Structure 1
Amino acid sequence: MNQSRVDRGILFADVEGSVRLFRRLSDPVAHDAVEACLGEIRGAVDQAGGQVVKSIGDGVMAVFDDLAMACEAAVAAQRRLNARLIDRPVPEGEATRLRIGIHAGPVIAEAGDFFGDTVNIASRLAGVASGGEIIMDMALAKQLSPIQRRMVRRLGTIAIKGLTPPRAIAELLWDTNPGSTVTVVTGRWGGSRGPQGGPRLGLAYADRRWTSLDGSERITIGRNEGNTIVVAEPRASRDHATIEFRGALWVLIDHSTNGTSVAFADEATIMLKRQELILHGLGTIGAGFDPAKAPGGAIRFTVLST
């Protein structure tokens, strides 16, 4: 076997919600939608000077000469897909989004394929990402050029299945629309840490993000306009749920008629009905529905130590 060890940037991308599409639409229509989404990542990889190594189900693996090129391709792919959805709107629940993970380092090259820890880490990081996100190792993010570093948002430290020890991870932001990121309050604790130095809570819904939330404030979720996060979900109650900080924990409290479901990364969905749940790690919240089955309308959360 002809093997060589080289340094490369590795990108994994897959289509969020593809299973839902095949259940909802005819196979040919769903297939075309997924392929159109993957076409954007393939085009971005080629434009950035990379190479698609292989397709894996509803995703692709790509290789680049360095990390910066992988980041360039990831950002371009998300922007291309977003522009496509703006130009060609699709019915609610039928939009496709990319989940992307990036890593760089030594890999084993053999017969046009690549293997090793760098490849495995990139794949795991893609699994952590939600649709529309690009996730990478924080230590590598610090090595990017000043221009690319300005696009990095530290998420914190998280245990990722299959990887030890826990890793500090970051999101590479691609949306240049300033309205897509909202800081609700900076509070007395500021920075990237939570209240009284506890874990930091981050939330995202549709094209908006809430970060650096102050533990003295309750985060409210529901259809009423006065809520912190106003959800466009007919199954949600007007005042559906709240998230509050207790001690060193972020707690989700359901007040609704149809319940609140929480899907943690790599765990089964938990259904709350007038109950409470401690949030941890990364996951999604469904106001009146299972977010694992309909991730496009879910609230994404991160509760990460720093």
Structure 2
Amino acid sequence: YELMGDEAANIIIQNCLMQLVEIANQHQGHLVKMIGDEIMAVFPQTDETVKAAIQMQEIITEYANSNGLQLGLRIGLNFGSVITENDDIFGGTVNAAARMVAFAKSGQIITNQSTVETLPKVLQAQTRLMEHIPSPGHTEKMVVYQIIWERRELTSARTYLKTTIPFNTALQLKHHDQIVTINPDQSGFTIGRNIDNHLIICDDYTSRQHAQINFRKGKFILVDQSTNGTFIVRPDNSHIFVLREESVLQNKGWIGLGELRFQDHPDVITFEILKSSSSGKNQKL
């Protein structure tokens, strides 16, 4: 609007919105309403919703490039039941979709875990786990995914999927007779000498608040907050040292707080990534 003036900019935006409505119709969608420079539409199936969103991004990008315009589209998708009243829709599903639109950056298609789980495998392969964001009214955070639509991003997305921990996994820690399982929605798991830590380790090498384990972008990450640092030992006994930095925990190994500790050390912490099976039970990766 600032570069072109209100009238010229409004003509361009209205033209784009009409193209989006046409694409929605082509994929069995139905326009609910237009709100300024946004549209809200509903679809009977999630796969058609994703296909429509991808086509929308492609059309707007092509239109912007061919006309030398700086235009970007932010799309949020959510699958679930809605409340219909006077040709409008309401409810938690709509609110969640709005939060994902707000989270999306220009050129992104954002959705959540429950929606991804309804997609066919070929479309799931085009998703990338991004973040866990707060969900108002719920204790658990919303798991947010990006749907990759640009061809140059597809290869890196598939590579990312191969190296990223699936969303239905957990991290298991063992120390003496303690066994703790950390789920992806339990970010901020703390380890240290203080009694307010989730896992309490009492020895001279461990700091009061020694380390924290977070789950970000599909990975369990150890964040060292200590004076003496943390050693992460792999099954082949190779190791890395982390001091006031962070490192991804991969597959399985051992954690030494403040000193290098191998499998046979009495105070070593054993870690292992577990993957949930279709029956809901955890399996070793």
* Aligned mates of 1:165, 1:143 — CA distance in 2: 20
Matches within 5 A, 1:1-306: 22-90=1-69, 95-160=70-135, 165-178=140-153, 181=156, 191=164, 198=214, 200=216, 246-248=244-246
Task: Return the letter of the residue paired with 1:38.
Answer: L
Q: How many residues align?
A: 184
* Aligned mates of 1:157, 1:106 — CA distance in 2: 22
Structure whose alpha-carbon radius of gyration is higher: 2
Q: TM-score, normalised by structure 1?
A: 0.51
8 Å contact from structure 2 (residues 61, 71) kept in 1: no
Residue 163 of structure 1: how far off its partner (Å): 6.1
CA deviation vs aligned residue, 1:47-80 (integer Å, no higher than 9, x gap): 1110111011210100111222211111110011
8 Å contact from structure 1 (residues 184, 212) kept in 2: no
8 Å contact from structure 1 (residues 101, 129) kept in 2: yes
Task: Return the letter of the residue paired with 1:81.
Answer: I
- SS of 1:106's partner is coil
CA deviation vs aligned residue, 1:184-234 (integer Å, no higher than 9, x gap): 999xxx6359xx9645479xxxxxxxx999x9xxxxxxxxxxxxxxxxxxx
CA deviation vs aligned residue, 1:90-123 (integer Å, no higher than 9, x gap): 3xxxx11111111111111223221111111111
* Aligned mates of 1:84, 1:100 — CA distance in 2: 17
Q: TM-score, normalised by structure 2?
A: 0.55
* Aligned mates of 1:185, 1:135 — CA distance in 2: 17
Residue 45 of structure 1: how far off its partner (Å): 0.6
8 Å contact from structure 2 (residues 214, 220) kept in 1: no
8 Å contact from structure 1 (residues 125, 135) kept in 2: yes
- SS of 1:103's partner is coil
Structure 1 unaligned runs (5+)?
A: 1-21, 203-210, 216-244, 250-306
* Aligned mates of 2:135, 2:244 — CA distance in 1: 25
Which has the larger share of strand?
1
Residue 140 of structure 1: how far off its partner (Å): 1.9
Report % sequence identity: 27
* Aligned mates of 2:92, 2:58 — CA distance in 1: 29
